[in-house]
Amino acid sequence: MKIFLDSADISEIKDLVQTGMVDGVTTNPSLIAKSGRDFKEVIAEISTLVSHGPVSAEVTSFDYETMMKEAEVLRKISDNIAIKVPLTIDGLRVCRALSSDNTLVNVTLCFTANQALLAAKAGAAFISPFLGRLDDLGMDGTDLISDIADIYMNYPEFETEILAASIRSTKHVQDVALLGADVATLPGKIIKAMYDHPLTYKGLETFEKDWKATGQSIL
């Protein structure tokens, strides 16, 4: 499973990219607002830092014509830009037009399996089902990943990757990996929480103590 970083925070991106665990970056208008930076500038900077993977940049209007104009500006920023469009009928039209033109499209704000089916038919490179926001409504977001995975499996001609989004916990990450999500986009704190385990640190303390007692050195 690929791991994307869900962030527009340059220092966080720099920090985590050097771990070698980050395969791409996703942003959205809320994350851009949180960064306090100019949208196009920050996307250009992220694209340079993560030149090895896709960087999702989201359009901000709702009608087909304006979304197409925005996509035209965004995709010129770098070759690794994936245009993020909302799962509306206009968004799906934009997805069809851009994907026919070999542009990666990430269809976002997906809350049902039928929406994911339409995104695949529209040629999306990624579908972004939002787990956490379904959990917020008392539903089980992981059921959605499971349904989409089953549907996509029935139609091998679909090339759309399942990009699990709105991930709020390490349990979510494990659940979507077990269900075969192609990608999970994660806030930095979740990536860090994935490797932190108290027993790892406790084990290291013991090994360090025992090693020192031998008086040896590897170097």
Instruction: Kindly give the pairing relationship between strand 55-58 and strand 24-26.
Output: parallel
**Angstrom distance (rounded) from CA 160 to CA 175:** 20
Q: Please report how close the Cβ of residue 164 comes to ligand G3P at its closest, in angstroms.
A: 9
CA dihedral 187, 189, 191, 194 (to 10 degrees): -140
**Angstrom distance (rounded) from CA 207 to CA 205:** 6
Q: Is 171 part of the annotated catalytic residue set?
A: no
**Angstrom distance (rounded) from CA 96 to CA 28:** 21
**Angstrom distance (rounded) from CA 64 to CA 160:** 21
> Does residue 126 interact with ligand G3P by CB under 6 A?
no
H/E run at residue 173: helix 170-178
User: Judged by CB under 6 A, which of 4, 7, 9, 26 binds ligand G3P?
Assistant: 26
> Does residue 132 interact with ligand G3P by CB under 6 A?
yes
From 2, 34, 84, 121, the catalytic residue: 84
Judged by phi (left if over 0) then psi (alpha if -120 to 50, else beta), residue 123 lies in left
User: Judged by CB under 6 A, which of 35, 103, 142, 185 binds ligand G3P?
Assistant: 185
Residue that has been written with the tokens 């995709």 in this structure: 75
> Does residue 28 interact with ligand G3P by CB under 6 A?
yes
Q: Please report how close the Cβ of residue 129 comes to ligand G3P at its closest, in angstroms.
A: 10
Comparing CB distances to ligand G3P, the nearer of 6 and 175 is: 6
Comparing CB distances to ligand G3P, the nearer of 99 and 128 is: 128
Q: Under rule CB under 6 A, which residues in 142-181 are in contact with ligand G3P?
A: 165-166
Name the segment binding ligand G3P (CB under 6 A); options: 9-17, 38-46, 129-137, 202-210: 129-137
Comparing CB distances to ligand G3P, the nearer of 26 and 142 is: 26
Nearest Cα neighbor of 130 from 105, 148, 103 is 148
Residues annotated as catalytic (active site), given as ranges: 84
Judged by the rule CB under 6 A, the positions of this chain that interact with ligand G3P are 6, 26, 28, 130, 132-133, 165-166, 185
